[in-house]
Amino acid sequence: MVDLEKFKYNIIRNFLDQSEVDLLKEYCVIKHRDNKDSFDLIQTNTGDTSFYKDPLMQIFLKKKKNIIEKNLDVKLDETYTFWRCYTYNATLEKHTDRPSCELSATIHIDSDGTKWPIFMGGEPVELNPGDAVIYSGCNIEHWREPFEGDYHIQTFFHYVNANGPYAQYKGDMGKPQ
């Protein structure tokens, strides 16, 4: 079992198989193109497309939980998903997460090919489409520098340790603030 108090992050290559990447890419591109009212005006400085608890992502949150549980050797409960299509000059400010994000995965779905690492405690992590980094969201600072490409689609899966100090956040306590 991973010592969750000391755990920082693990990379899981091919967390999504190619058919899952292809499905999510098409889905997200359509949702982004047709978006008229789901913009993140708080976390990014560009008003990027974003969706909290998107139904398809919620299915993947549940479907992929066993991979993360196996990787960490811990029983998890789902809290919520959040996906975003970042656009030119988007950033992700340095932060730690709220209790509903005790253990999280950020998964790269698609991009225009521009490399854009996520920093985990100061270490850059490069992900290819389908790759995930699982991390201790409440304990490790993470961020991204300004994006210089056209688009980058990323989804976040959030969990809590089913037997841990944040277990009451199962299902989430409400929208991100």
pLDDT, tens digit (0-9, with 9 covering 90-100), for 153-165: 999 999 999 999 9
Model pTM score: 0.90
Which pairs from 34-39 meet CB under 8 Å and 24+ separation? none
Mean pLDDT of 19-25: 97
Task: State the Cα–Cα distance between residues 120 and 142, nearest whole angstrom.
Answer: 5
Residue with tokens 């490409």: 149
CB-count exposure of residue 50 (10 Å: 0-12, 13-18, 19+): buried
Contact 121, 66 (CB under 8 A): no
Q: Which of 71, 36, 62, 66 is nearest to 51 (CA)?
A: 36
| The CATH number, out of the four listed (2.60.120.620, 3.40.225.10, 1.10.540.10, 1.20.120.420), of the domain defined by the range 9-34+41-169 | 2.60.120.620
Q: Given this model, what pLDDT does residue 127 score?
A: 98
pLDDT, tens digit (0-9, with 9 covering 90-100), for 34-91: 666 655 555 555 667 787 999 999 999 999 999 999 999 999 999 999 999 898 888 8
Task: State the Cα–Cα distance between residues 75 and 68, nearest whole angstrom.
Answer: 9
H/E element, 123: strand 123-125
pLDDT exceeds 50 at position 176: no
Task: State the Cα–Cα distance between residues 164 and 112, nearest whole angstrom.
Answer: 39
Contact 63, 16 (CB under 8 A): no
pLDDT, tens digit (0-9, with 9 covering 90-100), for 74-133: 999 999 999 998 988 888 889 999 999 999 999 999 999 999 999 999 999 999 999 999
Mean pLDDT of 15-26: 97
**Stronger pLDDT, 49 or 140, i.e. the higher one:** 140
